[in-house]
């Protein structure tokens, strides 16, 4: 499995797993909570196996964002999406409070 797919699967399974656990808690269903926990564990387990550098086969840190360059062998990791460049210019202008002066 591709490491990019693995990362996505990990994130998705964690999110879905947490949702199921929360639903299980609300419904007081131990079975449902267990299923949610299992989904999370499975997602992390597959990441332990597949979330690694395609060049040197070393595992990436789970929980960190996918690096653009392998921290171990320095291989450039292909990006499936163009790097977003968001330039946020704060246009907020702090206006001083208008004081009402008695004449």
Residues that bind Zn ion (CB under 5 A): 53, 55-56, 70, 72-73, 75
Choose between 19 and 56: whose C-beta lies nearer to Zn ion. 56
Helix (H, G, I), strand (E, B) or coil at 88: coil
Choose between 47 and 53: whose C-beta lies nearer to Zn ion. 53
- What lies within 8 Å, CB to CB, of 42 at 6+ separation is 13
Choose between 41 and 56: whose C-beta lies nearer to Zn ion. 56
Instruction: Give min distance, CB of 61 to Zn ion, in A.
Output: 13
Choose between 27 and 58: whose C-beta lies nearer to Zn ion. 58
Instruction: Give min distance, CB of 92 to Zn ion, in A.
Output: 43
Burial 53-91 (b: 16+ CB within 10 A, else e): beeeeeebeeeeeeeeebeeeeeebeeeeeeeeeeeeee
Instruction: Give min distance, CB of 47 to Zn ion, in A.
Output: 16
Instruction: Give min distance, CB of 6 to Zn ion, in A.
Output: 15
Whole-angstrom Cα distance, residue 40 to residue 49?
Answer: 15
């Amino acid at each position: 499995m591709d490491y990019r797919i693995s990362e996505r699967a990990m994130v998705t399974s964690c999110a879905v797993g947490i949702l199921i656990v929360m639903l299980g808690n609300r419904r007081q269903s131990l079975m449902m909570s267990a299923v949610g926990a299992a989904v999370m564990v499975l997602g992390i387990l597959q990441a332990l196996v597949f979330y690694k550098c395609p060049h040197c086969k070393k595992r990436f840190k789970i929980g960190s964002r996918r690096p653009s360059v392998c921290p171990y062998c320095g291989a450039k990791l292909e990006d499936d999406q163009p790097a977003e460049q968001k330039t946020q210019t704060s246009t907020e202008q702090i206006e001083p409070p208008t004081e009402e002066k008695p004449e």
